[in-house]
Amino acid sequence: MVHCVDCRDHGLFSEQFHELKFLELPEVLYAPLKWRGGPNRIRLSSYVDVLQRESLEYSIYIRRLAGVKEEIPPKTTFEQIDESLLQASRTYVVSIRRSLASPFSQMDEQDLMVQGFSIYARRR
Q: What is the pLDDT of residues 8-22, one digit of tens each?
A: 988 888 888 889 999
Q: Is the pLDDT of residue 33 over 80?
A: no
Model confidence at 38, pLDDT cuts 50, 70, 90, reads confident
Q: Is the pLDDT of residue 106 over 90?
A: yes
- Residues 30, 35: Cα–Cα separation, whole Å: 9
pTM over 0.85? The answer is: yes
- Residues 100, 83: Cα–Cα separation, whole Å: 25
Domain holding 15, by residue range, is 2-123
Q: Taking the mean position of all CA atoms in its chain, how far away is CA 116?
A: 6
Mean pLDDT over each residue of the chain, to the nearest integer: 93
35 vs 81, higher pLDDT: 81
- What phi, psi does 115 have (nearest 5°)? -110, -10
**pLDDT score, position 11:** 80
Q: Is the pLDDT of residue 31 over 90?
A: no
Task: Report how many domains make up the chain.
Answer: 1
**pLDDT score, position 23:** 95
- Residues 3, 99: Cα–Cα separation, whole Å: 30
Average pLDDT over residues 97-103: 95
Average pLDDT over residues 64-84: 97
The conformation of residue 100, written as its DSSP 8-state character, comes to P
- Bridge partners of 60? 119
